[in-house]
Amino acid sequence: MNGKLIENALGSLDNSYAPYSGFNVAAAVLTDSGKIYTGVNVENSSYPAGICAECNAVAKAVSCGERKIRSIAIVSRNAKAGEGSEGGYTSPCGICRQVLREFADPKELKVIMAKSVDDYKEMTLEELLPLSFGPESLA
């Protein structure tokens, strides 16, 4: 399933809108229902108004009624580094980690940071966001 998730993210990468940073990012989330939703980063000339690819993918899933994320694949390309320049292993920012935490068990969520279908690193959300605050913290 990792390969399919990475392929979906890579297939969306060209849709990224990053005219200011040149740092294109795409993500694909696998939900509990087995559906895959993709998202890309969308920058804005008013920098804080942009949205990350991971949050975009999660928002798309949630807007379709999904409430549980099982895994996410993240890919990137640095357009300013030259045509076709592949990104490194791109991890989710702090805000994205917290958004993922809202819709996943941190011990179970697989975060796949990929350069290609065959070259990726995988961690749990708990490894990326230890001692996290989640919905059950408010119970």
As a whole number of angstroms, the distance between CA 7 and CA 114 comes to: 10
Q: For 75-135, what is the HEC assignment?
A: EEEEHHHCCCCECCCCCCCHHHHHHHHHCCCCCCCEEEEECCCCCEEEEEHHHHCCCCCCH
pLDDT band at 139 (very low <50, low <70, confident <90, very high): confident
Structure tokens at 19: 């005219």
Q: What is the residue whose two structure tokens read 């990224």?
A: 16
* % of the chain exceeding 90 in pLDDT: 88
Would you state the pLDDT for residue 48?
A: 86
Question: Residue 20's domain spans which residues?
Answer: 2-138
Tens digit of each residue's pLDDT (9 = 90 or more) over 7-57 = 999 999 999 999 999 999 999 999 999 999 999 999 999 988 999 999 999
Q: Domain tally for the chain?
A: 1
Q: With H, G, I as helix, E, B as strand and everything else as coil, classify residue 17.
A: strand
- What pLDDT sits at residue 19? 95
How much is the pLDDT for 71?
98
Examine the pLDDT at 74 and tell me if it is beyond 80.
yes
Report the percent of the chain where pLDDT is more than 70: 93
Residue 66 is a catalytic residue:
no
pLDDT in tens, 81-94: 655 545 579 999 99
For helices 94-102 and 53-63, angle between their N-to-C axes, nearest 10 degrees? 20
Identified catalytic residue from 43, 54, 83, 127: 54
- Find the CATH number of the domain harbouring 13: 3.40.140.10
Q: What is the pTM of this model?
A: 0.93
Please write the tens of the pLDDT for every residue from 94-108: 999 999 999 999 999
| Cα distance between residue 6 and residue 24, in whole Å | 15
